[in-house]
Amino acid sequence: MSGDQHGGGRWSGPADVLTHGQLLRMGDQASAALLSHGVRAQDPVAVQLPMCLESVVITLACLKIGAQRLTLPLGDNRDFVRGRLNSSGARVVICADACDLDGRVHSVKANLDRTLARCPLVETVLVVRQLARPVPWEPGRDRWWHEDLAPRTLPPRPYPDRMSADIPPASGTSGTERLVFEDPLSSRSSDDGDHGWGEDPTQEASEGNLLRLINERPPHHI
């Protein structure tokens, strides 16, 4: 059974631009997917991916669960990868279908399949679509990453403070009040004064004033 019979695509271009809230919710979805495959705190999760959005999301998911991310190198490192999988006891592996590395295409999933022939502990392989290429497929073991995440719809997760565009404006406020992009140094602060720390323009300098200046001035100004 070939992987190209499954739908879905990879993140690319403008779709890589996410709000904090969207990224955190994807991490929640990914952690739910890993939990459904039996991953618990301290369990290793083997990851064989290039630099991509899914790699970041998986890291967030492992942090949320308390699982240990085990990064596997790309390329022809079959013996090394097999040794890491067997020594770690990883039961879940997340890999790319293929990737473009150093100017040539690496068949990540096909190489991993040959490696897993001698890795009896691996129970689940989650495949992330990168180049949408046909891949070998092991029914019952292999699953598409995007299909595991897609059904797991979650309610919006509020982000602390006002960083995420997903958070609706508070009652009685307009949406433009959520984010302020002005240069904070372009205008005076509400507590700006005409004299600095410890300075008292009404008194002449004295030993008492000097001691008060030392006591009032922040340590990094001393």
Residue 217 clears pLDDT 50, i.e. is over it: yes
CB 81 within 8 A of CB 72: yes
% residues pLDDT > 70 (the chain):
60
Domain count, the chain: 2
Residue 208 forms part of a structural domain: yes
Contacts of 46 by beta carbon, 8 Å cutoff, 6+ apart:
70, 72, 84, 85, 88, 90, 92, 93, 94, 122
Same domain (yes/no): 44, 137 = yes
Question: Per the domain annotation, does 163 fall within a domain?
Answer: no
The type of residue at 128 is: V
- Domain contains 60: yes
Tell whether 186 and 141 lie within a shared domain.
no
pTM here?
Answer: 0.64
Q: Is residue 110, in this structure, part of any structural domain at all?
A: yes
Helices (H), the chain: 20-36, 53-65, 78-88, 108-116, 145-149, 207-216
Residue 197 DSSP code: T
Q: Which of 130, 178, 182, 181 is nearest to 21 (CA)?
A: 178
pLDDT at 184: 59
* 41 and 139 in a common domain: yes
Residue 218 clears pLDDT 60, i.e. is over it? no
Q: State which residues form the domain around 100.
A: 3-149
- Kindly state the average pLDDT of the residues 98-121: 92
Domain for residue 52, yes or no? yes
Please indicate, yes or no, if residue 155 is contained in any of the structural domains. Answer: no
pLDDT at position 149: 87
pLDDT above 60: residue 123? yes
Residue 54 contacts residue 26 (beta carbons within 8 Å): no
**Does residue 67 have a pLDDT over 90?**
yes
Q: What is the pLDDT of residue 212?
A: 62
